[in-house]
Structure 1
Amino acid sequence: MGAGHSHSLERPPRASERTTLILSVIVAAVLFLTTIGAVAVWPSDWSMLRSVPTTYEGATWESATVESVDPDTGVALVTVSGQEDTGAQELPPADLGTFDYEEGDRIRALQLDTGELIFGDFERAGPMLVLLIAYVLLVAGIAWWRGVGALLGLAAAFGIIVFFTVPALFDGANPLVTGLVTGSGALAMLLYLAHGFNSRTTTAYLGTLAGLTITALLAWWAVDASSLTGIWSEEGAHLELSGRSVDLQGLVLCGIVIAGLGVLNDVTVTQSSAVWELRAARPDISRWNLFRRGMRIGRDHIASTVYTIAFAYVGAALPAIMLISLYDTSVGSTLTTAEIAEEAVRTLVSSIGLVLAVPLTTGIAALVVGTDAIAREPSQEGAVAGPQVARAAAPTAGAAALADAPPPVLEPEFRGRADE
């Protein structure tokens, strides 16, 4: 019987059948609403994808290898792939500041119908492919099937963004609805493919949706109240000149909603797992104390993730920060310029959603995992949980006083003797 008790801790806690049914109904309702929202903003045209040419008429993009570089003029002699018989060709120096060609560089050059070559960019497929392969192998090797599921979910989520979100925004769809539909659909694929179909994953999913909804509503207000137009960025200006009727302010809103997905997902999955492990280690504590212990972990997670978000956005906006710092303006004026304000609002909105998602997810997890939801081996389904758990569940004054106390050092031995 002692061995049987230890086996029960080898499997994670589970929700009751009634709780599982309720969770299934809630998720089904969320996915139903997501489907309705997707139908409402479904793009009617995908022809805008890859519709803008990147070459002149009669010109083609070619891959070339730098054979040598003239140190005085900066002109490079390159060999174009597939045109080795013509010999080395001249490539004029590129306007890259202090960066020059080096022998062996792989170049992407535009070849005009006259045969002249114009520098386009460096080819980076090789190094990036090496990094991608290393990343996939490490994730699959360390995280096993969860890692593989996460990679598949990530690919599916990017597919949603490319083939649904982007065409919908080009089609003039409501950006708030588009962002929420994208988030709900992408999260479902990411979470369930990576973590499996179980109550713990559903808890993280619902907690993330709650945080995402708060983030979306707050972003909706903040973008309008702060008059963020989206036209000040280089990409926004190009979109404005592309001839497409894109709502740039709505694009900022949708971008804030989607940007919050990753951080929210990280926090909610961690909180859900923490509560499940706490329940497995202490099946005798109440839901309230389980929530309190989970929030101890959540507070540390909030503190670390908040400055993680801030530094991530600062890193992305570093060139803009450096440029603006050159101007003779006050700190207040600098922080409220369009370039900085957009990143600041994005950081603040995402951080507020993150902070609120932690107690929401922890509370849902404490309710879902229950007080007597420790899974047993199949042969013990009809067995009693054990004298120690029964005594902990008894409504005695001593049990209530010890509910929030840390587990004694000899608790495993005590449990073993009780089972015997």
Structure 2
Amino acid sequence: MKKDLLTVSLFALLCLLLWLAPTGFEHSRPEGSLLAKARVIASDDADLRQHGVVRTGTQTLTVELLDGAQRGQRARVTNALTGKLEFDEFYRPGERLLIEYRLRDGEIGLAYARGHYRLDHQLLLLGLFCGFLVLVAGWTGVKALLSFVFAALALWKVLIPLLLRGSDPVLVALAVVAGLTAAVSLLIGGLNRRGLTACLGALGGLLLAYALARIFATGFALHGVVRPFTENLLYAGFAGLDLTAIFLAGIILACSGAVMDLAMDIAAALDELRAKRPDLGARALFVSGMAVGRSVVGTMTTTLLLAYSGGYTTMLMVFMSQGLALSQVLNIHFVAAEVLNVIVGSFALVAVAPLTALAGALIYRRPAR
């Protein structure tokens, strides 16, 4: 237990340091720009134009600020509608939104709508999740939450800034995912043979995922622009980035969670088996690990398919409504990108079973001292 507390304390400290660490891109925000929660008092829709199901033009809002130094003040807010439903938001009196504004002679000057205010509901849902996880999993739930926070901070504070600075995307992704795999495996599994087994098995699967993605990306004729918001990066002055390498890094990142999950399942089973049957040798442990892996691999690969395709339900509906043949759908470049994602991730999952079973058999072949 003391070792467990030490590990948790260490990761809590790492999370704090990551939270405080600057990304180096804070200066990219316009100087003097402020954010605040506001409530819509009135809306002026005179400048809006209706085009079928979309609106274009400018909605002018009168809002009251609900927080910040200017709390209680009123301001006129501009809400520009571009005609793209996935980006545009429309506001009615009484609704709350996030605004960005600047001060001019101590008064609120230019102000713009930045979306319905959702942070309070997000925090509420997160709090409910944290409480439920701790209630169900106890101390392990606390460690799981800590690993979740650590992973989120590592992605935002380490991975993304390094990619924006032009570092090799694949090396950065492999390094960050390897660090996360080791951290999560050792935090959840413990500083013991179970954690080490899960870590080694997951890393082996991720290396295979990278190798396959690198080999087949060329044959699929894919480039990094298939991902959303890639063009925004180019227009924002990051034209020198290797977008194809970033695409490959995303594949590694996308399957890493499922890979870690499966590796920990097998490692935990071997640890429990070794505790109950200390007489088992390496061969028997490997066979048992493979049996556990076979039981889980089938559902996990389906999980990847459903997870990736769930975000594209409406796109698939559009394709079917247009009568596109399945061969035509699969040949579309951004669909092919998801096919590569699913198959490479599934390869990694399948490989994790024997790799983790082998690592566990070798690590557990002798009784712990």
So what's the TM-score if we normalise by structure 1? 0.68
2:128 aligned residue: 134
- Rounded Cα–Cα distance in structure 1 between residues aligned with 2:227 and 2:64: 37
Amino acid at match of 1:339: F
Pairing 1:344–2:334 present: no
2:96 aligned residue: 106
**Cα gap change, 1:80 to 1:247, in 2 (>3 Å):** same
Contact 1:157 1:186 in 2 (8 A): yes
Contact 2:64 2:72 in 1 (8 A): no
Pairing 1:208–2:202 present: yes
Of 138, 144, 147, the residue aligned with 1:144 is 138
Of 24, 34, 39, the residue aligned with 1:65 is 39
Amino acid at match of 1:233: R
1:323, distance to aligned residue in structure 2 (A): 4.5
- Rounded Cα–Cα distance in structure 2 between residues aligned with 1:345 and 1:237: 21
Amino acid at match of 1:109: I
1:192 aligned residue: 186
2:259 aligned residue: 264
Query: CA-to-partner distance for each residue in 1:117-144, whole Å, 9 max, x for gaps?
Result: 5432011110111112222223333333
Pairing 1:219–2:213 present: yes
1:351, distance to aligned residue in structure 2 (A): 0.5
Contact 2:23 2:158 in 1 (8 A): no
2:291 aligned residue: 296
1:90, distance to aligned residue in structure 2 (A): 7.6
1:324, distance to aligned residue in structure 2 (A): 4.4
- Rounded Cα–Cα distance in structure 2 between residues aligned with 1:87 and 1:125: 21
- Rounded Cα–Cα distance in structure 1 between residues aligned with 2:109 and 2:158: 40
1:279, distance to aligned residue in structure 2 (A): 3.0
Query: CA-to-partner distance for each residue in 1:362-408, whole Å, 9 max, x for gaps?
Result: 1221332226x388xxxxxxxxxxxxxxxxxxxxxxxxxxxxxxxxx
Q: Which piece of structure 1 moves more, 84-93 or 135-144?
A: 84-93
- Rounded Cα–Cα distance in structure 1 between residues aligned with 2:273 and 2:126: 36
| Runs of 5+ unmatched residues, structure 2 | 1-21, 49-58
Contact 2:62 2:74 in 1 (8 A): no
1:316 aligned residue: 311
1:104, distance to aligned residue in structure 2 (A): 4.0
Pairing 1:305–2:322 present: no
The DSSP-based 3-state class of the residue aligned with 1:234 is coil
1:31 aligned residue: none
How many pairs were matched up?
327
| Runs of 5+ unmatched residues, structure 1 | 1-44, 376-420
- Rounded Cα–Cα distance in structure 1 between residues aligned with 2:174 and 2:293: 25
Question: Alignment RMSD, CA only?
Answer: 3.3
Contact 1:283 1:374 in 2 (8 A): no
Q: Which piece of structure 1 moves more, 103-112 or 182-191?
A: 103-112
The DSSP-based 3-state class of the residue aligned with 1:190 is helix
- Rounded Cα–Cα distance in structure 2 between residues aligned with 1:87 and 1:364: 64
Amino acid at match of 1:266: D
1:186, distance to aligned residue in structure 2 (A): 1.5
**Cα gap change, 1:78 to 1:172, in 2 (>3 Å):** closer
- Rounded Cα–Cα distance in structure 2 between residues aligned with 1:343 and 1:253: 12
**Cα gap change, 1:110 to 1:176, in 2 (>3 Å):** closer
1:159, distance to aligned residue in structure 2 (A): 3.1
**Cα gap change, 1:111 to 1:279, in 2 (>3 Å):** closer
Q: Which piece of structure 1 moves more, 105-114 or 122-131?
A: 105-114
Of 146, 167, 176, the residue aligned with 1:182 is 176
**Cα gap change, 1:77 to 1:351, in 2 (>3 Å):** same
Of 239, 245, 249, the residue aligned with 2:244 is 249
Pairing 1:79–2:64 present: yes
So what's the TM-score if we normalise by structure 2? 0.76
Give the share of equivalent positions with the same residue, in percent. 27
**Cα gap change, 1:203 to 1:69, in 2 (>3 Å):** same
Pairing 1:167–2:167 present: no
Contact 2:319 2:329 in 1 (8 A): yes
